[in-house]
Structure 1
Amino acid sequence: MMRKNWWKWLGVALVVYGLLAGLLIPLKPNLVSVSARTATLGETITLDVVGYNTSFGADAGAVKAWLSAGEGLSLAASAVEVLDDRRAKLTFTLPPFLPDLSLDKLTLPIIVSSPADGAFVDPLGITVRQETPAANEAAARAPWQSTALAKGDLSATPRITFPYRGHLAETIRNIFFHVSLWFAMMFVFIAAVVYAIKYLRRSGKRSDELPDVVSRRDRADYWSVAFTSVGMLYGVLGLLTGAVWARYTWGSFWSWDIKQFTTLIALLIYAGYFVLRASFPDGEQRARLGAAYNIFAFACLIPLIYILPRLSGNSLHPGAAGNPGFGGEDLDSTMRMVFYPIIFGWTLFGFWLAGLRYRLRLLSGE
């Protein structure tokens, strides 16, 4: 039995692995608050920082910080005072000039490193303005080069973590559920349309099978219906998880974003497949029209979900208007270790559900 059903158990195992890892692996430490965000060149400034998932207190004397001005240019904190695991004070004595004479202002990301948390970067950092540039570029760069980061200054992250993205925070975990369900839905719908094509190809052939035996043509129709049902289930779950994600990142469950809108249209088109089948009492006519409609629905799915949102210039979704959906800012190597397996798991699980739906159809004799 295990040899025959190994892929089902693999699917379940991958889904469980994805759920547990996606929920339990912590996010990488970072800063959620920095006060203040602006500074004046030539002054000494103390930044009050609040960390997320940080353990400043574990290595209070080993916490280091820098302001980065570019490759090979950074300013080390003159003092780091740890208040507790999440709060610290970073003191910097800013040079009188920026290292780039052509700039009138520059955002300096904050780099923090400690053995307990590893190294992390707050890209927002602080912003400084330069009213009058230095007369000599070498003199302007010297203070930034003297305390620049050197090899060995940064500590490695001591544990497996997911990346921290300020605009997503903990909701980044929804990639494993919302996005993976959409990918699995596509594979299931592909299987559905393949069986729809098989039905139409076999509909014109004479069957030599016994009258009381389900023909190969009808089995193709049963499979097509089963896969379409599971695809609709995944689509609805993807829409719901997306709405929850939108509530925490965009402020409302439904924003009429172009991708939300086109996805809803695509699922309504597939819902019409079941309405169409229910409208014809004749089994053969129902199956033939249903197969043709399934091909039409799949042809609409691709442009509605993947093409039109990318052509739009006002979508909030990653992947639209030239914004890469799965770049380093969205999915790092650690997340890929969970993301790709759970897509495979949802797909195998969906095929298992389709098999159950198919066998129920055979038993019902409809």
Structure 2
Amino acid sequence: MKRRILATLVAALSIGVPAAHAEQLAGVTDDNRLVFFDSGDPRAIDLRPPVAGLQPGELINGFDRRPATNQLYAMTDQNNIYVIDGLANTATLLRTFTPKLAGATFGFDFSAETDRIRVLSDSGQSFRLRATNLASASDGPVRLVGGGRPSMSGAAYSGNRVGSKSSRLYAINDQNDRLYRLTTSNKSGTNFESIGRLGVAIGPRTGFDIASDGLAYGAFQVGTDPSTQIYRVSLVNGAATKLGTLGGGLKLVGLTALGLGAPDTKAPGITVSISASQRSNVLAAKGLRVTLSTTEAGDLDAEAKLRGSQIGEAGEFVESRSSRVLKISFNSLGRAAIRRGSSVRIALRITVKDVAGNTTVVQRIVKARAG
């Protein structure tokens, strides 16, 4: 994986690359460790030791890739900005900046258009830093159209590629679980309008970034589960779609997109376990229960047919490397035919399609016997 990360960090990013490529992502944990993974399988990680070069007790609270140089930058609770060498796992102090950080969680992101860093906080703080010398420009406090607490714990610019002439700032509010978009920013206020609800209840520990191809990714702590969940976030309506759980039980405080990796052309693996012969009265009443294991995230669809006609279906999005029991209920015609028949053969077709579009199909025959 290290060779792949190096290639991604130094490669020139472009748009228009097929969706079959997984996005390479980097995160930083709450104990200053870098972790590298891709959007296709967040459980497979390359975890590093704590970054060397920080001051004793200093904690990273902001993390992003600078599009102009492809370098990783980190902000800390001591008002320092560091350049991170992702391969050597070291931090080099750039300089200390002002104003003093106000808040507990922060959004931190580069604008490729201006080569400036935007910092937002859960206290409503908003300012920008020039990348070259960290000269600051403070804007007015964050305000939400329609009201609400301006707790912005994640920030990301669109147009995240070298030469971008247009970018928009998006932010995650961990208090109302919504995605917002900047409307105006000046000394009187940093004003955001709501795009829509994420659809999940997130905690304050947030990572958020928009890749060069325009897809947005979030690293959220959801509900009472302390682990980090990786999501794709729609910039159209705010809806978050789960891609999987980050491996290692890690707690991310920052996330950045590194670029598109090599095309994923490998079909997802799936294991199906189901009894080949079942009692007709049980099948008619309870339907089919299928135990499934998949090797990566994707859409799962199951279809049951009797004599060529569909009698039942089920579908859902499955996490990477997950095991589950899928229930397929039959329609009224299917239940009646199963009860009447003395030797009924149900054709089961299960399809799993991963996030890159690769597909695997498994077929089974289930016999319904009298009883």
Fold conserved (TM > 0.5)? no
**TM-score (norm. length: structure 1):** 0.29
Q: Which has the higher contact order (CA 8 A, sep 6+)?
A: 1
More strand by share: 2
Higher Rg of the two aligned structures: 1
**TM-score (norm. length: structure 2):** 0.29
